Amino acid sequence: MAGMNVSEDPMAKRTYQVWKGNNRFFLGGRVIFGPDVRSLFITILLILVPIVIFCVFIARHLRHQFPTYNAGYAILVVAIVYTFYVLVLLLLTSAQDPGIVPRALHPPIDVQHEYSNPNNTSVGQTPRPPFPRTREVQLPSGVVVKVKYCDTCMVYRPPRCSHCSICNNCVQRFDHHCPWVGQCVGLRNYRYFFMFVASSTLLCIYVFAMSALYIKFLMDGEYHTVWRALRHSPASVILMIYCFIAVWFVGGLTVFHLYLISTNQTTYENFRYRADGRQNPYDQGCVRNFADIFCTSIPPSKNNFRQIVEQRTEELDVEAMPHPGSEEEVFKDIRAKIEGDLELGAALSKVSERGSEIDDSVYNRSSNGRDSYDASGHFPLEMPSSHRHSSWGRKSESYEISSDVFAASSESGRYKVAS
């Protein structure tokens, strides 16, 4: 019926049902995960199984070792409550929108013209110049960054935004895609991700320390040597070895992200580029950098996944259109992007071995004399003539902006498109 409300139409679909990304939705679109959500169950098991072993074989025997006020029960209670806290942080990281930039329904007019006329010629008309693939955006500090157009999402991305080839979404302040949480880490869930990693480190240290304490009590009792005590409690040996290995991984990540927070960098920026000893345009000082992560409100999601959407038959089918440039160039861009994400994932697995071997950011100046950086805001498109360096030889499609998305963002709204 013409007068029927859209919400009453049984054929109407919600946003999550027509979502073009690779995300997995549950509870009617109320919960959003990445495409590799199954790996989340592995992470949960890696947390729960050791804690169950600890509670059954170690904490249970420590209950009566501190008779004053039955303080030994606190060891068991702390382990259970703190594990629950770690799992909550894990779900807060993996089960929400990390900062996805909404896709446009249509590409810009200039893009539509280039799609419909890839040779850029018109009968009886002067050929139109190709649409601008980049724009300049001025940061609050006065620094001008260049951002690029995203062919997939049909928007100019905000600064520090990247398109995740795994989730197939543009994510604000993209840090990395973490397979252990099955989700991208970005503007809206980075705080929870760091707290999860840091809390997991403390949990490993706690279990290791209590297991060692139990071995000491065994040695003070019937088992007078370390070897006899270890043979009596193999669970303690297993847990101590497990926690020792795990703490190098999560502890290394904690130290690494403490460095990133203190210098206001992202993992993507740090691993994709190399430093040249110059100042970071986003660095506001250590205290303000930490305050931006932990003492500011998390911006609301730009996507209402449960919203009723109308299916518009007149929408432009961008996927069926040829992309600007040759097929070979498009293939090279896609391959470079996927290889870059895979390289980042491999590098993250070795971060605990790197320790604090971190690079700073590289600067450049634009031809008009203003301080200018490439799309990441850290790394140069062109260095000043007195300090000129060659490019690292990588294509970057990371930091691009849509003026609509840009103005609505709590972080990006502070910037403006440079004239």
Average pLDDT for consecutive 10-residue bins of the chain (419 residues)? 51 86 91 92 96 94 81 92 97 95 78 54 53 77 80 88 92 94 95 97 96 90 83 92 95 96 90 65 89 94 87 47 46 53 54 43 37 41 33 36 45 52
CA distances from 51 to 39, 61, 133, 182 (A): 19, 14, 52, 22
* Residue 155 CB neighbour total at 10 angstroms: 24
Single-letter amino acid, residue 378: H
Q: Which residues are catalytic?
A: 178
Q: What is the pTM of this model?
A: 0.72
- Kindly give the pairing relationship between strand 371-373 and strand 144-150: parallel
Cα–Cα distances (Å) from 218 to 58, 62, 231, in that order, read 11, 11, 11
pLDDT of amino acid 361: 38
Selection from 266, 299, 303 nearest residue 32 by Cα: 303
At 134 the pLDDT is: 79
User: How far is it, in rounded angstroms, from Cα 361 to Cα 66?
Assistant: 52
Query: What pLDDT is recorded for position 114?
Result: 53
The residues facing 145 across adjacent strands are 137, 373
Residue-level pLDDT at 382:
33
Answer for the pair 284, 390: CB distance below 8 angstroms, yes or no.
Answer: no
Which residues are registered as beta bridge partners of 361?
Answer: 278
Residue 377 pLDDT:
39
Question: In the structure encoding, which two tokens stand for residue 330, read together?
Answer: 């498009």
Contact 233, 261 (CB under 8 A): no
